[in-house]
Amino acid sequence: MEVTTLLADPRVISLETIRSSEKSLTLAVRVVRSTAQCPRCDRASERVHSRYIRRVADLPWLGVAVRLELQARRFFCTNTLCRQDIFCERLPSVVARYARRTARLNDALTYIGFIIGGEAGARIARELGMTTSPDTLIRRIRQSATPEAPIPRVLGIDDWAKRKGQTYGTILVDLARHRPIDLLPDREAATLAAWLTAHPGIEVVSRDRFRAYKEGIARGAPTAIQVADRWHLLKNMTEALERWLNRQRPVIQQAAKDATASQEVVIEESVATHALHAPVTPQLQRSMEQQATRLSRFQEVKELYRQGATIRGIAAKFRMHRRTVRLLLNADECPKRAPPRRRRNKIAAYLPYLKQRWAEGCHNASELWREIKAQGFAGCESAVRHFIAEWRLNVEPELRRKRHLSSGAPIRRVTIPGARSVTWLLLHDESKLNDQQRAFLTQFCEQQPEVIIAQKLVRRFQHLVSRRDVAAFDEWLTEAKNSKLPELVNFAAGLAGDAAVRAALTTKWSNGQVEGQVNRLKMIKRQMFGRANFDLLRQRVLHSG
């Protein structure tokens, strides 16, 4: 957008007078040329039929709205062979037919719309003296032509959440030019295949190991080399380790207890993001175990699907409804089971009181139960205990330490790390672990020697992927298959069956930059509030690229 003249197009119109009122300026303008071209036969005519006034909004002047009062003319067509008798003169560089705004005002509004969106855009435009509405801006974004991008040689594909954990779209990025080139409304193989068929000539496609993409590329661009994204490979590797660790939960628990017993100090700090603090009630213990089972099943479902199992097959294997399988496949994280509703409702009325008492320092469930029972609470003590257990997990370690010191003898506490925390411990630089973390690992390795095999395999995989060492990869595959650790054996089998994995180790292309594009997309989506319809989002992402 470039504005250098007072009038929209001084070659076409000239200024007659300026009138000003409190809130606006009116520029009376007339057309410079004495002739006009018939839109049907293109012949110029000088014979004016009649004149009329067109009033259109123009760019504001220092925040003051500006109106053009344009003396427009109708002409006779003088070509006797033309079917058009009378025509209105056209001034496309100033204002389109029937438009209520000059072309340059519309350009400015479109520009504002693309940069900050409809809602905020309309507010700013009004502040600047351009009367408009969010809907108008959004219409202008929609009506703009999608920028033409050349067909990329190297394409990066990834998914993005339309609604977190529920529906996904696909972003396509030109990896050589570092630009998003299209958004697809879903992540189905057919949609991707159709797009690729319509854009022939792509040589390399980088993708994660999501199966629909693999299929879509094979169908839509069969000659393109598929490259598995290295970052996703590493992520899948640690997920396989996590799945194995999930099955080691009893050993992890025992190792954590033994490691604590061998130490003098009471463990208060968590070694883990997912660590849980004792005291662990039997109910809490059971719910933790159930959650761990759900998590490992969730991960297994995802892995099986990635390896090519059908939804029907997975449903049969785990005795789940197919809808549940689909739900899990579409979820980012393992869904948590909703807390029992009836209990929550019954106690809900007393929560403000309980929270207040909790904040005051009363952390005794029986005591709290007696207090609300006196107020009319009909539930049992375990309902209160259930809530308190959750709150207790969030208590600051510092606060707990003080409490125990003041109450006399310290209570021994065991921190039981979750599978993800153990993964982190196993892959972290050993010299940087603290004594407590090291004590846990020593115990764990002693009680489950297979962990050393798993750790070595994962570390070597990380190393060979980061160095793109194909020779080491073949050796690694054999060793992983011989490891007898089912999760790692399966993972290796999946890799061996995917040619894109080998390509990931021989080409330089990677999806690293796609993540940046997805983040930009998320930012635009946030700006759009509830208006993030797919077509609108697509326009804004492609225009701002």
Closest CB 12 distance from Zn ion, rounded Å: 20
Closest CB 43 distance from Zn ion, rounded Å: 6
Closest CB 74 distance from Zn ion, rounded Å: 13
Whether 159 contacts 168, CB under 8 Å: yes
Q: Which span (55-63, 76-84, 269-277, 379-387) binds Zn ion, by CB under 5 A? A: 76-84
Separation CA 541–CA 478 (nearest Å): 44
Pairing state of beta strands 44-45 and 48-61? Answer: unpaired
The amino acid present at 498, given as its one-letter code, is D
Pick between residue 45 and residue 539 the one whose CB is nearest to Zn ion.
45
Q: Is 74 exposed, middle or buried (0-12, 13-18, 19+ CB in 10 A)?
A: middle
x/- contact string, 372-401, with Zn ion (CB under 5 A)?
------------------------------
Q: Which of 66, 77, 202, 505 binds Zn ion (CB under 5 A)?
A: 77
Q: Which of 12, 28, 31, 41 binds Zn ion (CB under 5 A)?
A: 41
Site membership for Zn ion, residue 37 (CB under 5 A): no
Q: Which span (31-39, 137-145, 153-161, 381-389) binds Zn ion, by CB under 5 A? A: 31-39
Q: Is 485 exposed, middle or buried (0-12, 13-18, 19+ CB in 10 A)?
A: buried
Site membership for Zn ion, residue 532 (CB under 5 A): no
Site membership for Zn ion, residue 44 (CB under 5 A): no
**b (16+ CB within 10 A) / e for 453-470:** bbbebbebbeebbeeeee
Closest CB 82 distance from Zn ion, rounded Å: 3
Closest CB 18 distance from Zn ion, rounded Å: 36
Total residues binding Zn ion (CB under 5 A):
7
Separation CA 19–CA 164 (nearest Å): 54
Pick between residue 75 and residue 491 the one whose CB is nearest to Zn ion.
75
Separation CA 293–CA 287 (nearest Å): 10
Site membership for Zn ion, residue 317 (CB under 5 A): no
Look at residue 57 and give its three-state secondary structure. strand
Q: What is the maximal distance between C-alpha atoms in the chain?
A: 111
Token pair in block for residue 48: 């004016």
Q: Which of 84, 144, 253, 447 binds Zn ion (CB under 5 A)?
A: 84
Token pair in block for residue 423: 């993964």
Pick between residue 41 and residue 194 the one whose CB is nearest to Zn ion.
41
Pairing state of beta strands 154-163 and 167-174? Answer: antiparallel
Nearest to 245 by CA among 79, 444, 484: 444
Closest CB 48 distance from Zn ion, rounded Å: 15
Separation CA 530–CA 158 (nearest Å): 23
Pick between residue 87 and residue 369 the one whose CB is nearest to Zn ion.
87
Pick between residue 79 and residue 307 the one whose CB is nearest to Zn ion.
79
Residue 182 main-chain phi, psi, to 5 deg:
-165, 160
Closest CB 83 distance from Zn ion, rounded Å: 8
Pick between residue 39 and residue 250 the one whose CB is nearest to Zn ion.
39
Pick between residue 89 and residue 159 the one whose CB is nearest to Zn ion.
89
Separation CA 346–CA 509 (nearest Å): 57
Bond preceding residue 250 cis, omega within 30 of 0: no
Closest CB 103 distance from Zn ion, rounded Å: 25
Site membership for Zn ion, residue 488 (CB under 5 A): no
Whether 242 contacts 419, CB under 8 Å: yes
Return the sign of the alpha-carbon dihedral for residues 517, 520, 522, 528: negative
Place of tokens 């175990």: 289
Site membership for Zn ion, residue 38 (CB under 5 A): yes
Q: Which span (11-19, 78-86, 187-195, 469-477) binds Zn ion, by CB under 5 A? A: 78-86
Q: Which span (73-81, 280-288, 424-432, 483-491) binds Zn ion, by CB under 5 A? A: 73-81
Pick between residue 47 and residue 467 the one whose CB is nearest to Zn ion.
47
Separation CA 500–CA 509 (nearest Å): 12
Site membership for Zn ion, residue 40 (CB under 5 A): yes
- Residues forming beta bridges with residue 75, ordered by sequence position: 48, 87
Pick between residue 36 and residue 465 the one whose CB is nearest to Zn ion.
36
Pick between residue 41 and residue 389 the one whose CB is nearest to Zn ion.
41
Report the interface residues with Zn ion, using CB under 5 A: 38, 40-41, 77, 79, 82, 84
